[in-house]
Structure 1
Amino acid sequence: MFNPYALGGWTAAANLNADSARNTVPQPSIFGALPYPTQDPPSMFISFRFTSFSPSILDCTVVGPQAKTHFHISTDIPTPGFTTIFNADNEPMTIIEWLPNPVLEIRGIVPKQRVSEWLVLSPAKRYRTMVAQGRTFIWAPDGESICLYALGLGVPQTHARLTREDGAVALEITAEAIRIGLLPVCVTAAFLLQSGRNID
């Protein structure tokens, strides 16, 4: 005798043809009329932490997944008046000169310029505009965080989120933002925004 429920994979005492291990992910209605439960999407952010403050973020380490060191930040060493952000290969990635109007360069990404011209404060002082990788972004407060949004049409897309924690600063960044080369830019911007120094 033909049992239509057995073909659908439903388990029941009378359904001897069903395989309970098979088809564990809910399937949508074939007609699309009924809702179905979805699995939670994986976290879209990858977490990095500015840690090991010595004594502040001006001298610290940036660790990523599996507590791997991705960057380290050194101020006034080897040159007074400068902060250098080194990559995992211990190569200088970002150089900031603490002049009355601080200047920065992110090697191969942002040419040497004033910080205030790269992280431009809005007239109402509510957000900062930043240009990187040929695109314009905005750093804006969102509750306890400062978020990085891409400027464009439609709903703003969050690319990164910066949050102060006890003894650390958390930078969460999307895999897409890393793919398009924003990790060094976000680390540099996060450092500047949390440095406690005048950047305007």
Structure 2
Amino acid sequence: MYTNNPYAQGGWSNSANTHSVNDGTWGTLLPQAPTYGALPSSTSGTPPSTLTFYFTEFSPDLLNCVVVGPQSKVYYKVIPGPPGLTYVQKPDNSSILCIEWQQHPMIEVREIVPRQAVGQWMLPAADGKSRIFEVKGRRYVWTAENNFISLYSVYPSPSDLNARISNGKPGSIVLEITTNAISAGLLEVAIASVVLLKCGRNID
């Protein structure tokens, strides 16, 4: 039964699965953003700075590419798994999220978003331009405006801009995200959102 677990095939730890290819060390992380300590953080009392990530080297599209961040380092890889699966991995090949492409696509973001239907987690708003979701008890909204898809906090402050997605030069997509948003654990969610919102597939 467990040998057919798509998460195990992608390097996801499963104590009940003796065939898991993950060494299980993910669980040793403290309950902080998965990138805690790997990226610069903002200083209390100062305006949040912004970090930029580029989805590039499409082969042939967004579902097989690399994500380049500060200092031109590769921070993530978006890769195809077994048929119907897409993983996002760190350079050490540990998976941070999995998307199952089916009639109603499923998503899981490690330790942040439990496995569920994308359309249930990222709810489309009535205006057809926004999607509302929740992370760690806080609500956020992606909304299309001008040439961006912008991420705002819904609560406590509806005016906080956390991130935005835009088209870069041909063959690239740009994610700009504040260090405050990264500290709040939104980087992996934003990476997942780029894949979902810009892949051109139905996600409901």
| Higher relative contact order (CA closer than 8 Å, sequence separation 6+) | 2
Match of 1:128 among 124, 131, 149: 131
Segments of 4+ moved more than 2 angstroms: 41-44, 152-155
Match of 2:167 in 1: 164
- Alpha-carbon offset, residue 70 of structure 1: 0.7
- Alpha-carbon offset, residue 119 of structure 1: 1.2
Q: Does the CA contact (< 8 Å) of 2:122 and 2:133 recur in 1?
A: yes
- 1:186 corresponds to 2:190: yes
Which deviates more, 85-94 or 171-180?
Answer: 85-94
Match of 1:150 in 2: 153
Q: Deviations over 1:81-119 (max 9, x none)?
A: 100111232101111100100001111110000000111
- Report % sequence identity: 37
Q: Name the count of aligned residue pairs.
A: 158
- 1:64 corresponds to 2:63: no
Q: What is the aligned-residue RMSD (CA, Å)? A: 1.6
What is the distance in 2 between the residues matched to 1:155 and 1:111? Answer: 25
Residues 1:154 and 1:181: Cα distance change in structure 2 (over 3 Å):
closer
Q: What runs of 5+ residues in structure 1 fail to find an aligned partner?
A: 1-40
What is the distance in 2 between the residues matched to 1:174 and 1:190? Answer: 15
- Alpha-carbon offset, residue 187 of structure 1: 0.3
Q: TM-score, normalised by structure 1?
A: 0.75
Q: Deviations over 1:148-169 (max 9, x none)?
A: 0000255510000100112100
Matches within 5 A, 1:32-181: 44-75=49-80, 77=81, 79-154=82-157, 156-166=159-169, 167-181=171-185
What is the distance in 1 between the residues matched to 2:193 and 2:141? Answer: 11
Equivalent position SS for 2:201? coil
Equivalent position SS for 1:136? strand
Equivalent position SS for 2:62? coil
Q: TM-score, normalised by structure 2?
A: 0.74
Which deviates more, 49-58 or 118-127?
Answer: 118-127
Residues 1:80 and 1:156: Cα distance change in structure 2 (over 3 Å):
same
What is the distance in 1 between the residues matched to 2:111 and 2:91? Answer: 16
Q: Deviations over 1:151-192 (max 9, x none)?
A: 025551000010011210000000001111111010001110
What is the distance in 2 between the residues matched to 1:126 and 1:196? Answer: 15
Greater Cα radius of gyration, structure 1 or 2: 1
Match of 1:11 in 2: none
Which deviates more, 54-63 or 150-159?
Answer: 150-159
What is the distance in 2 between the residues matched to 1:128 and 1:111? Answer: 18
Equivalent position SS for 2:58? coil
